[in-house]
A and B are shown apart, each in its own frame.
Chain A
Amino acid sequence: MNEQLEIKKASPKDFETDQEVRWCPGCGDYAILKGVQMALANTGSTPENTVFVSGIGCSSRFPYYISTYGFHTIHGRAPGFATGIKLANPDLEVWLVTGDGDGLSIGGNHMLHVLRRNVNIQIMLFNNEIYGLTKGQYSPTSRPGLKTPSTPMGSVDAPLSPCIFALGAGARFVARGIDTSLKELPLILARAKEHVGASFVEIFQNCIVYNDNVFGEFTAKKTAKDTQLYVRHGEKMIFGKEVQKGIRFNAEKFSLEVVTPGEDGITEDDILVHDETNRHMAFMLCELESPDFPVVCGVIYCNPAESYEQSVHYQLEQAKNAKKADFNALLRSGRTWVVE
């Protein structure tokens, strides 16, 4: 048989497993799983060359439901495992699935370092601003005042912004998506995969049981066009359903503001053009919060550099070229003497 005939592009179905999915009915994870399966199929991933690594939590059950290789590890430490896998075999496509608790609380240290090292993996952080699997305690992204079993009078912790954290850690790819936005999410994930180096994607994920509708203000489909801004490199930052609004840089206040072209002498030329290689702009875009601003989604920052495992393997090749690997010679290096 002609081998070429056998090659067919995988479909999203090829990435499904026979395992019963155990997330709560209505959980945002279902949509994300679908989005990931679509992204894998669209970008030509193969189950045998792909590995999903996760820590602990609701999101970390992900590997069981995807028909690639998978490693469900320990709480917060998935970045370490992913780094080891990538060092061992840089040809593998490695995805890391984590949550706001796993990735930013117990595993915050590892998240910092995997981003800074720029290991060539895709990191999906499902942010639901709550601990789901342990039954509803507040997380490092929960808003102040949130009442949970461990904060009966309301949380007094200041929350962390995942994308600001990632940028601060030195991430060279930062993007945002929404669980149920299945038009955009697969495209964002495809960009993350294409990027060489650590790609960080925050996905707003609704926990229907413990923190339902926490992102409703900007994820509701009806008002989405007014509350979300999908940025695209080289395009103006324009949003709004009825009225076209835009983002302008106010140099006096050194901040971004929402403006309406045609009003107060504002023209289209005043609207910022997205430059995904501009880290300062990325910080400012990630700072924007609803309701005063649209929540920025899409690829916010992308500025590739050599990845960690590429540099490691380059040194390995250099060493191999410079010196023959001779084990007996190694043992006899340095000062030796002969006993007759």
Chain B
Amino acid sequence: MSGQHSSQVKDQTIQELDSIVVRFAGDSGDGMQLTGTQFSVATALEGSDLSTFPDFPAEIRAPVGTTFGVSAFQINFGSVEVSTAGDEPDILVIMNPAALKVNLENLRNGGMIILDEGAFSAKNLKKAGYETNPLEDDSLSQYDVKRMDITRMTVETVKEFGLGNKDSLRCKNMWTLGLLLWMFGRKRKPIIDSLEQKFAQKPDIAKANIAALNAGHAFGETAEMSSNLRRYQINKYKEEPGIYRTVNGNQSLSWGILAGTQLAGLQLILGSYPITPASPLLHILSGLKEFGVITFQAEDEIAAICGAIGASFAGCLGMTTSSGPGIALKTEAIGLAITTELPLIIVDIQRAGPSTGMPTKTEQSDLYQAVWGRNGDAPICVLSVSSSTDGFEVGIEAVRIATKYMTPVMVLSDGYIANASEPWKIPDINDYEPFPVKFHKETEGFHPLLRDPETLARVWAKPGTKGLMHRIGGIEKDYDSGHISYDAANHQKMTDVRKAKIDNIAADIPLQEIAQGDPGGRLAVVGWGSTYGAIHQAVKRARKDGRDVSHIHLRNIWPLARNLGELLKSYDKVIVAEMNVGQLNTLLRSQYLLDTVLLSKVSGQPFKISEINDAIIKNLGESK
């Protein structure tokens, strides 16, 4: 909770805040993701800046009441710029003992716990591993605990709709949401609308959920009078004028890549295989057939990318989406796309590894795989997405580079921003400069490896074109004819040209900008991908405290921006903050012979602002 404007508020006073972090936690079956999403919508519509963090288990329905079945949704919202889901919740909403057990350690000291005491039965306490009831000992004494029997009140509320016990209990989340909407002065109307839409075929369920929502809201009003609860005021965030919506990383990236194909004048064909946390891209694009998008759910990761490459060979833009383990399976096919020089978009929504790892938890540990993870000298272009909204721009850029340079482009996002939402000022597609693809038509002197002298891209000749029949494949090709070749000097030349083509992209991407701060100085924090928000806030805080620190955030992972080495060398010290054990750090050290400092985190959770802030203070030689 930051920026309290009214200290020691009287009972009926509305407390004004700059921002607040609320975390909803319950069993997987308690509907916490839905509650959080709906609360986010209601909050966004009131003009708050916000950032969310859905944190859920891989199990679809883990045994009820267990700690490993706990699902949580965190939202940070405010009238000030919000760029992470918040280091520690100010308010924990707890639906069962297991949720308390798992989430309590992150709650701010003195924070508030709103809990359903009806769920704290002996059986549930045992399942959560509590030996004594935390409501009855003093283990919660340092917190502001609001106990209420949400289970009983919900069941009573929905009794009149004649639902079974199971369906009645499922309304608990709406009761809770109603209470939270009251606390933060958010409107119920958008939630009611969406419940009516969602349960259009089941009017009783819709009515029961709406009744529960209203009952939770009414409870707040009553409780306020008895001074148990209070309301908070969070003013609108001053954003640039425009039309806004909320968007998560998978949405913005799907739309960005589709936008790119629209600007390139190409049909998009996605080959994909379901995998957490990348499947939403397959779902989203499958629903966009009116744009001519074809989605091919293949039998496996390999067939998925092969289908995409086949589509590119035939003159569409092939794309494949996956996460780390799936990308590993695609590796050989990526090599083929590199050596046949076909455009291809490869999306890797990274998750905690290695192997299956932790599918629903986030990490940035596929950078080596993206940049270096293939047999032979097989360079590709690698871009990264730094926020829930950034995918749109990155998607367009990926298509531009892939088609201009006839190369696969890998886009790295991760599980955190894939699922996290932020408000987004909706762009206008007409503001983007089209980059139409020109297929080769000239038969005179044609061979498939004719190159543009500037970009070094080979020609793209579509099957179906008269006079341009050609054969390509994975065997090394002769530089001057495209025929297969085992010639020693030719392999050297072809390897060199493939490398030069990718290196050359550095001349066609923006110079590295400083996200915050100054060129040169005592310290720079370098990051890439989803750590943007946490680094941004940490550097902002440090600069406010008078510290000489800047933030540099990379979109272009390979090739790197052409001024990056010089820029990094202008600081006395460089911290590389990333959610792996030092992959970008290794890359930067190898490229620039720079003695960087690594700040690593691989807990499956995003960085906290405080963790980066602590590293800044430590590296500036101050004691903390």
Contact = CB atoms under 8 A, between A and B. Distances in A.
Interface of A: 17, 19, 47-49, 51-53, 56, 63-64, 67-74, 77, 79-89, 91-92, 109-110, 112-113, 312, 315-316, 318-320, 322-325, 327-328, 330-332, 334-340
A338 B426 CA distance: 10
Contacts of B471: 17, 52, 63-64, 69-72
A52 B473 CA distance: 11
27 contacts: A17-B471, A48-B468, A51-B314, A69-B471, A72-B472, A72-B474, A73-B474, A79-B303, A80-B307, A81-B310, A81-B313, A84-B269, A84-B308, A84-B309, A84-B310, A88-B316, A109-B303, A110-B303, A319-B290, A323-B290, A325-B290, A327-B259, A328-B430, A332-B245, A335-B41, A336-B244, A337-B243
Given A320-B289, A325-B291, A70 B310 contact: no
B44 interface: yes
B116 to A, nearest CB: 28
Interface in B446-478: 462-475
Nearest to B425: A339
Contacts of A88: 267, 269, 294, 310-311, 313-316
A84 B474 contact: no
Interface string B281-313: 000000011111010101110111111111111
B533 interface: no
A9 B603 CA distance: 67
A69 B316 CA distance: 16
Given A92-B463, A112-B299, A319-B289, A87 B47 contact: no
A324 B294 CA distance: 16
Contact of A320 (B241, B292, B316): B292
A89 B465 CA distance: 12
A139 B194 CA distance: 58
Interface string B80-104: 0000000000000000000000000
Please name the 10 residue pairs, one residue from A and one from B, whose CB atoms are nearest each other, closest first: A84-B310, A72-B473, A80-B306, A70-B471, A319-B289, A88-B314, A84-B307, A81-B310, A80-B303, A69-B463
B325 interface: no
B271 interface: yes
Nearest to A88: B314
A77 B426 contact: no
A69 B470 contact: yes
Nearest to A48: B466
B469 A48 contact: yes
Contacts of B474: 56, 72-74
B298 A69 contact: no
A113 B299 contact: yes
A57 B470 CA distance: 20
A319 B295 CA distance: 13
Given A113-B303, A327-B291, A339 B271 contact: no
B105 interface: no
Given A325-B292, A338-B242, A85 B47 contact: no
Nearest to B287: A319
A80 B292 contact: no
B313 A84 contact: yes
B579 to A, nearest CB: 29
A13 B466 CA distance: 17
Contacts of A47: 469
Contacts of B292: 316, 320, 325
Nearest to A60: B473
B527 interface: no
Interface of B: 41, 44-45, 47, 190, 239-246, 255, 258-259, 262, 267, 269, 271, 288-292, 294, 296, 298-300, 302-316, 318, 332-333, 336, 340, 425-430, 462-475, 483-484
A85 B466 contact: no
Contact of B302 (A77, A112, A328): A77
Contact of B262 (A69, A110, A112, A327): A327
Contacts of A334: 245
A71 B314 CA distance: 10
A229 B515 CA distance: 76
A85 B240 contact: no
A53 B469 contact: no
Given A70-B472, A109-B300, A51 B463 contact: yes
A73 B306 contact: yes
Q: In the complex, which of the residues A88, A312, A339 has the most CB atoms of chain B within 10 Å of its own CB atom?
A: A88
Which DSSP category, helix, strand, loop or mixed, fits chain B's interface?
A: mixed
Contact of B243 (A72, A77, A112, A332): A332
Contact of B333 (A64, A77, A91, A340): A77
Contacts, number: 203
Given A83-B296, A84-B308, A88-B315, A336 B470 contact: no
A87 B296 contact: yes
Given A70-B472, A84-B296, A327-B429, A339 B240 contact: yes
A340 B269 CA distance: 38
Nearest to A336: B245
Given A48-B469, A81-B309, A332-B426, A340 B241 contact: yes
Nearest to A66: B471
A113 to B, nearest CB: 4
A80 B302 contact: yes
Contacts of B267: 88
Contacts of A73: 306, 309, 336, 473-474
A319 B304 CA distance: 23
Contacts of A63: 471, 473
B509 to A, nearest CB: 24
Contacts of A335: 41, 44-45, 190, 245-246
A38 B59 CA distance: 57
Contact of A85 (B289, B291, B314, B428): B314
A272 B352 CA distance: 62
A175 B618 CA distance: 74
A80 B425 CA distance: 39
A339 B291 contact: no
Nearest to A62: B471
Contacts of B316: 88-89
A336 B243 contact: yes
A29 to B, nearest CB: 16
B427 A331 contact: yes
A70 B302 CA distance: 20
A331 B291 CA distance: 13
A339 B300 contact: no
A325 B190 CA distance: 27
A338 B244 contact: yes
Contacts of B427: 331
A185 B582 CA distance: 60
Contacts of B300: 109
B469 A84 contact: no
A77 to B, nearest CB: 5
Contacts of B469: 47-48, 67-70
Contacts of A71: 310, 313, 340, 471-473
A331 B269 CA distance: 20
Given A72-B475, A84-B269, A335-B245, A110 B465 contact: no
B294 A85 contact: no
A85 B463 contact: yes
Contacts of B302: 77, 80, 110
B290 A80 contact: no
Contacts of A92: 314, 463-464
Contacts of B332: 74
A315 B292 CA distance: 10
Q: In the complex, which of the residues A320, A331, A340 has the most CB atoms of chain B within 10 Å of its own CB atom?
A: A331
A312 B310 contact: no
Contacts of B465: 48
Nearest to B291: A325
Nearest to B295: A312
A191 to B, nearest CB: 24
